[in-house]
Amino acid sequence: MSEAVAEDSAGPMASVRSGLRWLREGPRADQVTVLAFVLGTALGAVHWIGLFVGGALVGIVAPSFTRAIQHGFYLGVLVLGLFVGSLWLYGSLSTYLALGQVLYLNLATTLLLPPLGATLRGLG
């Protein structure tokens, strides 16, 4: 009887793992990764928690834990680049660079939250 319970409890997790394996290694793995980056960038542009959630998205579809951390860092650099580019476009980049501690907090948040979210990959 305990074997039947063990099989039932492993059933849903086995299907989730096989679905994640298909996302990570399947024929459309590159498209899924690009979609995760697009969604992560959009979420990061709306709120700072979106950086963490976006990092989790790119981490979940990454093929390994190391790649998940790298993808999270790349997402942070992408969001930071788009943010700095928008400041430059509107002519307020010099004001942003003169903010001091707020600038450092912004840089740390943007570059550290996505890799932190990407560590979710280590759970499965």
pLDDT band at 51 (very low <50, low <70, confident <90, very high): very high
79-116 pLDDT, tens digit per residue, is 999 999 999 999 999 999 999 999 999 999 999 999 99
Helix (H), strand (E), coil (C) string for 53-81: HHHHHHHHCCCCHHHHHHHHHHHHHHHHH
User: Would the pLDDT of 29 be above 60?
Assistant: yes
Q: What is the pLDDT of residue 92?
A: 94
* Nearest by Cα to 59 from 83, 35, 33: 33
Domain count, the chain: 1
Q: What is the pLDDT of residue 6?
A: 46
Q: What is the pLDDT of residue 123?
A: 81
Q: What is the pLDDT of residue 13?
A: 64
User: Do residues 61 and 36 lie in contact, with contact meaning Cβ atoms separated by under 8 Å?
Assistant: yes
Q: How many CB atoms lie within 10 A of CB 85?
A: 11
Q: Look up the pTM and report it.
A: 0.80
Give the structural domain span for 16: 2-123
User: Would the pLDDT of 1 be above 50?
Assistant: no
From CA 73, how far away is CA 106, in angstroms rounded? 15
pLDDT band at 63 (very low <50, low <70, confident <90, very high): confident
